[in-house]
Amino acid sequence: DDAVRASRESEQLALAQYRAGTVTFLNVAAAQALTLSNERTAVQLLGRRMVASVGLIKAVGGGWDAASLAVPDAQAMAAPTHE
């Protein structure tokens, strides 16, 4: 996230410099390419973390069962039973 944020700032600075006439558009294009590369890497890392999380849950014997994710009935939660 820091790399993406920094490259976006760099891109904005390059664009401002281009508009001021101090650099060529090549500098802007290079900054945009770096931003895109960093964003792509961030998305790939997020995907790998998700896959690793699923693998960890499976390794410890867990699973993805829709029934275990079901929300309990609101009436059953609201009415305590005293026996």
- Whether residue 31 lies inside any domain: the answer is yes
Chain-centroid distance, C-alpha 43: 6
Question: In sequence order, which residues have a C-beta less than 8 Å from that of residue 41 and are 6 or more positions away?
Answer: 3
Among 15, 16, 43, smallest CA distance to 31 is for 15
- Whether residue 80 lies inside any domain: the answer is no
What per-residue confidence (pLDDT) applies to 1?
A: 86
Q: What's the structural domain count of the chain?
A: 1
- Whether residue 77 lies inside any domain: the answer is no
What residues make up the domain containing 24?
Answer: 2-61
Mean pLDDT by 10 residues, the chain (83 residues): 95 98 98 98 96 89 67 58 49
How far is CA 77 from each of CA 26, 71, 73, 74, 81, rounded to the nearest angstrom? 62, 10, 6, 5, 10
